[in-house]
């Protein structure tokens, strides 16, 4: 039976990239020891900015900068595939919010966030550039893994495109901000995207002063396999091809859908803060 051992690990990142790199080292080492195939870390944990969001611009690094280079080195000689979020320098003063996928000491794939968090009185687009490319799929132990980031989960079209492109598993690094109803939104949306697409979903939520944590692993029929708390820690689950195939046989939404989803980016609409 084909299986994939997945883990979502959460912690509270600091503004210091070196401190955050030191934090993820033991997490990666332990995942390798435990036989984890896919480790998902939160969004943007190269450096966290609770206030002074504009500092994202000055502290962003290129893909060949010291944080990504150091994180990649932590995977050298290991089997585990690691997904981690950074802020990546762009051609403009506003960096990308980027996921890097690491394996065997190198970057094997990159996804730059499409949907910026311009909601709930926040304007991510003030300091981050929205990308336009559909996320890639990454093969891990025979499973196709699609990449999304945080606010992306509110847009079901992206998860559906990834699934139609062949994704068996969706991953969602996040820094889900605390607020009224936000924990309910998180659980509902993560579960819905798994169930919408009869796909596994592995969501890693940063914890700490500003964010809820509560990492979540959901199966293709919307069943929560593991859930984190508000504290640092890891959750782990074994995903099986049999469960995926059975879910898609019993609930054939990927055959029954009537409307195509076109991957044609539209202009970013900025919602004024209020």
* C-alpha closest to that of 84 among 70, 141, 131, 144: 70
In angstroms, the CA 8 to CA 39 distance is 6
Tokens 């960096």 sit on residue: 95
184 contact partners, CB below 8 Å, separation of at least 6:
none
User: CA angle at residue 108 from 217 to 94, to 5 degrees?
Assistant: 85
Candidates 113, 124, 206, 207; catalytic one: 113
CA dist 211 and 218 (Å) reads 20
Active site residue 43: yes
180 vs 30: CA distance, rounded Å? 35
Beta partners for residue 204, in sequence order: 173
Select which of 43, 88, 109, 124 is catalytic: 43
How many Å apart are CA 78 and CA 103, to the nearest integer? 7
- Parallel/antiparallel/unpaired status of strands 143-147 and 38-40: unpaired
**Inter-residue contact 107 to 68 (CB < 8 Å):** yes
Q: Of 109, 150, 206, 207, which is the active-site residue?
A: 150
In which residue are the tokens 């290129």 written?
62
Q: Is 207 a catalytic residue?
A: no
Residues classed as catalytic: 43, 113, 150
């Amino acid at each position: 039976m084909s299986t994939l051992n997945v883990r979502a690990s959460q912690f509270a990142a600091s503004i210091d990239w070196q401190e955050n790199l030191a934090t993820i080292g033991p997490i990666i080492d332990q995942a390798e020891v435990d036989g984890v195939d896919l480790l998902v870390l939160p969004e943007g944990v190269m450096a966290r900015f609770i206030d002074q969001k504009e500092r994202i611009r000055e502290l962003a690094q290129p893909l060949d900068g010291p944080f990504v280079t150091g994180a990649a080195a932590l995977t050298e000689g290991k089997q585990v595939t690691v997904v981690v979020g950074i802020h990546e320098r762009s051609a403009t003063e506003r960096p990308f919010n980027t996921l890097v996928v690491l394996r065997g000491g190198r970057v094997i794939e990159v996804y730059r966030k499409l949907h910026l968090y311009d909601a709930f009185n926040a304007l991510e687009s003030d300091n981050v550039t929205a990308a336009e490319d559909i996320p890639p799929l990454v093969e891990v132990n025979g499973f196709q893994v699609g990449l999304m980031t945080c606010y992306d989960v509110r847009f079901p079209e992206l998860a559906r495109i990834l699934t139609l492109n062949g994704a068996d598993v969706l991953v969602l690094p996040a820094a889900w901000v605390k607020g009224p109803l936000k924990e309910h939104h998180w659980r509902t949306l993560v579960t819905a995207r798994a169930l919408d697409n009869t796909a596994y979903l592995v969501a890693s939520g940063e914890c700490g002063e500003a964010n809820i944590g509560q990492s979540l692993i959901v199966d293709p029929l919307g069943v929560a396999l593991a859930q984190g708390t508000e504290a640092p820690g890891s959750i782990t689950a074994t995903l099986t091809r049999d469960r995926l195939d059975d879910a898609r046989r019993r609930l054939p939404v990927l055959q029954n859908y009537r409307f195509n989803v076109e991957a044609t980016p539209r202009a970013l609409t900025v919602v004024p803060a209020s």
